[in-house]
């Protein structure tokens, strides 16, 4: 029995919606098969994400101060934007 069929079976047995069955099915699935769930890998979120809103907010100030200038390498511009506190 695959995962989806198992969750459908749990949903019918417990008379609950599929999305609610998903929440409890993992524990029952592993008990039934005698396995252990995979450990979740923590993502490294140390590096700031550069969103359009963030870039626009800081771009004018960085150009006026000279931190970003014409002819600068794209990699250097990205590093300057990532180093901005905000």
How many domains, the chain? 2
In the predicted structure, residue 86 carries a pLDDT above the cut 60: no
Please compute the mean of the pLDDT values over residues 67-81 and round it to a whole number.
Answer: 88
Q: 51-68 pLDDT, tens per residue?
A: 888 888 888 888 888 988
Inside any domain, residue 22: yes
Inside any domain, residue 38: no
Inside any domain, residue 76: yes
Q: Which domain holds residue 7?
A: 3-33
Inside any domain, residue 9: yes
Q: 3-54 pLDDT, tens per residue?
A: 889 899 989 999 999 989 888 888 888 888 888 888 878 777 666 677 888 8
Q: What is the pTM of this model?
A: 0.43
Inside any domain, residue 7: yes
Inside any domain, residue 27: yes
Output b/e per residue, 7-22; b: 16+ Cβ within 10 A. beebbeeeeeeeeebe
Inside any domain, residue 28: yes
Per-residue tokens: 38:
């995979």
Inside any domain, residue 72: yes
């Amino acid at each position: 029995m695959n995962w989806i069929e198992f969750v459908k079976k749990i949903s019918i047995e417990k008379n609950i919606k599929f999305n609610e069955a998903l929440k409890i099915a993992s524990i029952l699935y592993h008990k039934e098969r005698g396995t252990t769930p995979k450990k979740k890998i923590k993502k490294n979120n140390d590096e700031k994400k550069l969103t359009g809103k963030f870039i626009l907010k800081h771009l004018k100030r960085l150009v006026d101060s000279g931190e970003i200038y014409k002819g600068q390498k794209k990699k250097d511009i990205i590093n300057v934007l990532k180093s901005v506190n905000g």
